[in-house]
Amino acid sequence: MKTTTRLTAGVLLALALSGAASAADYAVQPASTLGFTGSFQGASFDGSFRQWHAAISYDAAHLAQSKFDVDVTMASVAVSDKDQQGALPGKDFFDVAQYPVAHFVTTGFRNVGGKVVADGQLTLRGTTRPVSLAVDFKPQGRNATLDVSGSLKRLDFGVGGGDYADTSVIGADVKVHAHLLLVAK
């Protein structure tokens, strides 16, 4: 009987501790932004996505329980140049008719020199590749800000391939960045 009681107490303690070590779920607030910076003919340009959804579960002290899961509506891309705005949703770039949503999900987090890096898989234009993002999380009571940034090679995902593969005209590297305003659920 004592063994059963100890085992039950041990299981309950383990469950209680695992619950205490779980990451907090956050709701992303409407003022949050998701964007990118590319280059065309040597000049940089900024773009953003107006429609996207992010499920954020994060605790810097318990990275193993943390997770980012983001869906981006590619047709919601916005840039200031009229020609780029017309071209990006098209078949040569995002091909939103065939690939309407890009998806990023974390596979893990790691500390690198005191900074947190989120490793994950990005699926864009039907191609899935690993992407790592620097994470800057600042809790403020029930609220928090989350800034992420990283870089990817557009041709790895077939963005601007074919006639647009010349990286001296359209830069190979695209910087991605997000600024999220969060409220604990």
Domains and CATH numbers, the chain: 23-184 (2.40.128.110)
Query: Given this model, what pLDDT does residue 17 score?
Result: 39
Which regions of the chain does DSSP assign to beta strands (E)? Answer: 24-28, 33-40, 43-49, 52-58, 67-73, 77-79, 101-112, 115-124, 127-140, 143-153, 173-184
Tell me if 178 sits within 8 A of 148, measured CB to CB: yes
Instruction: Indicate whether this model's pTM tops 0.75.
Output: yes
Q: How far apart are CA 159 and CA 36, in angstroms?
A: 14
| Segment 27-82, tens digit of pLDDT | 999 999 999 999 999 999 999 999 999 999 999 999 999 999 999 999 999 999 99
- Strands 67-73 and 101-112, bridge-based pairing: antiparallel
DSSP single-letter state for residue 176: E
| pLDDT at 13 > cutoff 60 | no
